[in-house]
Structure 1
Amino acid sequence: MKWKATLVKYRDADRIAVEFEKDPELIRRIKLIHDARWNPAKKYWHIPDTSENRARFRLVQKEDTEPSAEGQEQLRQFIRWLSAKRYSSNTIKTYSESLRLFLIYFRMKAVSEITNADVMDFNHDYILKNRFSASYQNQFTSAIKLYFRTIRNTNIEVDKIERPKKNKMLPNVLSKEEVKLILEAHANLKHKTMLSLIYSCGLRCSELLQLRPGDIDSKRNIVFIKEAKGKKDRITSLSPKILVLLRTYYALYKPKTYLFEGKERGSMYSAKSLQSVLKQALEKARIKKPVTLHWLRHSYATHLLESGTDLRYIQELLGHNSSRTTEIYTHVSTKNLQQIKSPFDDL
């Protein structure tokens, strides 16, 4: 996500101007910042000039955007520990950035002196004050709890660090008609095949990009997904229809290393480019919903459930650890709801 932040004056008040290309998610996130305003004349958002907002957009002095010397060393040790434990690169990046911001907040305090009360203050004065989401707070909590379990000299009681109450959000699901419009929008065979494979197998974006030609077993009609979320391998079914599409694609593109490669032969196709492929499909299909690639995975699971597939099989196909995660799709399936007659119809 590209943005540009600069210091500006607005009605004699110090503000931070934030410019970025129109993006529904970025607009939603900046609206969560207290007193965020849109300047229609200059085409940028502006927010209060506070230390928290400067840190958010990297506008503070260097000494204010880095942990103390002790904190920096602790951060390096934490990253080494995560790497030794074979955490994924995305998890290492997410956890280390969360810990970095936490240690910046307490840069004037020795790590050994940080207490559970300090963690509560951080949640109240940084997370809640800036109106960050519960999921963002939970991300911080995971990083902080894991970090304090790796060090000895601490006043923190890890088990007493509370997680935020989870929002009970339902997954976004497309109708089969909408999915068909999206998958048929592209004339480009590669783009069509990528989106089709995500939906037909219920793949995550990262899982699709990491696929190699050898992961497609056409004789057994399965896709072998290696080291997916949680470092787990799994297999998912391969429909005859998608197999025909894959064979046509393979004959034309002849991928070398990855099933879907970038501009340079042998390189992995980028997640950003894949998101652009979906965006273009939505424009061509004239679908106005803020669809993401993960919506295709949600739609796959819901459509399986509506067609009568057992929830236990859907759990295996999606690679969920808990059946409770998969059960959420029962709340968005419309198969049984459509059979319920509203009393309004009898009036």
Structure 2
Amino acid sequence: MLLSQAWETYESDKRIEGFSPQTLKAYKLQSSLLIRFFNDVQLDTITTDQLKAYLAKSSESLKPASLAHRNRFMKSLFRWSHEEGHIPKNPAAKIKEPKTGKRIPKFLTEMEIEHLREACCSPMEKALFEFMFSTGCRIGEIVSLDKNRINWSNRSAIVRGKGDKEREVYFNIRCDIWLRRYLDQRQDCNPAIFVTERYPHQMSIAQMRYIIKRISGRARINKNIHPHQLRHSYATHLLNIGAPLEAIQSLLGHEKSETTRIYAQVSGSLRQELYKKYF
């Protein structure tokens, strides 16, 4: 089986398993880079040493996190190929994950959140910002959310997260007010909760990112603001007011507790403030 054929079959299988379009898009890029490096050779001709050489070459230009992502795709593809019987043995089996180090998520202070809130100009911007911050949703979960998934009686929504898993998220009163105002002023019949301003259709991830960038430009915050920072800020806020990690894990939709535990490091700044206050 050729490398390109392996990718096509792998992609079909993972699509059926429920991999998100964003994950498959990222993996498609990685498959293209793999094919460019090896050419479209037979899968069973690739050796462990060749894969190590590929990663070594990649490490010259990639940051540790990007290298780890490339390695995960490569290991996943060859593990799947071996399990499906396309190759007699897995050449990536003994390749170890590169050390990336634990990076503390970048979050926004309460003051920065307020500056962003004041910089929102329209009901759409206010509704989008408040929904992102008060639910802690991933941007992909908001993009795919329809209006009929909102439960106004308890201010919640059912979102579809990673692995096609559904979970209930909650939003606050401020978000409720602006979301209702935004939806009430819309004239379109599109089912999506957020639509484009011109010729309304479901808003894309790129368009949502642009709106947050536009808001942050007005707020004049000296940071590169992106939607995932609002998710980090949501988790940090919950942690700082005493929410247990297990509850934060459930609200964020993290499958592994280790993913959530990194936020415990964020509270170091809070501990320092408490120390200065009481010691």
| Kept in 2: contact 1:221–1:239 (CA 8 A) | yes
Q: Residues 148 and 257 (structure 1 numbering): CA distance in 2 closer, same or farther, change over 3 Å?
A: same
How far apart, in 2, do the equivalents of 1:122 and 1:153 lie?
Answer: 19
TM-score, with length taken from structure 2: 0.89
Three-state SS of the structure 2 residue aligned to 1:234 is strand
Spell out, residue by residue over 1:9-47, the C-alpha distance to the aligned partner (whole angstroms, 9 max, x if none): xxxxxxxxxxxxxxxxxxxxxxxxxxxxxxxxxxxxxxx
Query: Does residue 127 of the first structure (1) align with residue 58 of the second (2)?
Result: yes
Three-state SS of the structure 1 residue aligned to 2:96 is coil
Query: Does residue 140 of the first structure (1) align with residue 140 of the second (2)?
Result: no
Query: Does residue 237 of the first structure (1) align with residue 170 of the second (2)?
Result: yes
Question: Which residue number corresponds to residue 252 of structure 1?
Answer: 185
Question: Which residue number corresponds to residue 224 of structure 2?
Answer: 290
Q: Residues 235 and 164 (structure 1 numbering): CA distance in 2 closer, same or farther, change over 3 Å?
A: same
C-alpha displacement of 1:84: 3.3
Q: Which stretches in structure 1 are left out of the alignment for 5+ residues?
A: 1-68
Which amino acid is 1:335 matched to? L
| Kept in 1: contact 2:149–2:158 (CA 8 A) | yes
How far apart, in 2, do the equivalents of 1:260 and 1:274 lie?
Answer: 9
Question: Which residue number corresponds to residue 103 of structure 1?
Answer: 35
Share of identical aligned residues, percent? 25
1:311 pairs with one of 245, 251, 256: 245
Which amino acid is 1:192 matched to? K
Query: Does residue 338 of the first structure (1) align with residue 273 of the second (2)?
Result: yes
Three-state SS of the structure 2 residue aligned to 1:97 is helix
Q: Residues 87 and 338 (structure 1 numbering): CA distance in 2 closer, same or farther, change over 3 Å?
A: same
| Kept in 2: contact 1:194–1:208 (CA 8 A) | no
C-alpha displacement of 1:317: 0.8
How far apart, in 2, do the equivalents of 1:91 and 1:100 lie?
Answer: 14
Three-state SS of the structure 2 residue aligned to 1:340 is helix
How far apart, in 1, do the equivalents of 2:7 and 2:207 lie?
Answer: 32
How far apart, in 2, do the equivalents of 1:306 and 1:128 lie?
Answer: 37
Query: Does residue 273 of the first structure (1) align with residue 203 of the second (2)?
Result: no
Three-state SS of the structure 2 residue aligned to 1:159 is coil
2:129 pairs with one of 195, 215, 219: 195
C-alpha displacement of 1:305: 1.2
| Kept in 1: contact 2:3–2:41 (CA 8 A) | no
How far apart, in 1, do the equivalents of 2:262 and 2:41 lie?
Answer: 43
Query: Does residue 71 of the first structure (1) align with residue 3 of the second (2)?
Result: yes
| Kept in 2: contact 1:193–1:245 (CA 8 A) | yes
Q: Please list, as runs of the form range in 1=range in 2, the aligned pairs for 1:27-46 lying within 5 A after superposition.
A: none
Three-state SS of the structure 2 residue aligned to 1:198 is helix
Bigger proportion of residues as helix: 2
Bigger proportion of residues as strand: 1
C-alpha displacement of 1:264: 2.9
Question: Which residue number corresponds to residue 29 of structure 1?
Answer: none
Which amino acid is 1:141 matched to? N
C-alpha displacement of 1:243: 1.0
Q: Residues 329 and 83 (structure 1 numbering): CA distance in 2 closer, same or farther, change over 3 Å?
A: closer
How far apart, in 2, do the equivalents of 1:110 and 1:250 lie?
Answer: 54
| Kept in 1: contact 2:195–2:203 (CA 8 A) | yes
Spell out, residue by residue over 1:80-101, the C-alpha distance to the aligned partner (whole angstroms, 9 max, x if none): 3333333222222222321221
2:44 pairs with one of 104, 107, 112: 112
Which amino acid is 1:79 matched to? E
Which amino acid is 1:89 matched to? P
Question: Which residue number corresponds to residue 8 of structure 1?
Answer: none
C-alpha displacement of 1:156: 3.0
How far apart, in 2, do the equivalents of 1:315 and 1:171 lie?
Answer: 15
Count of aligned pairs = 271
Q: Residues 84 and 185 (structure 1 numbering): CA distance in 2 closer, same or farther, change over 3 Å?
A: same
Which amino acid is 1:316 matched to? S
Three-state SS of the structure 1 residue aligned to 2:2 is helix
Q: Which structure would you say has the larger Rg?
A: 1
Q: Please list, as runs of the form range in 1=range in 2, the aligned pairs for 1:172-183 lying within 5 A after superposition.
A: 172-183=106-117
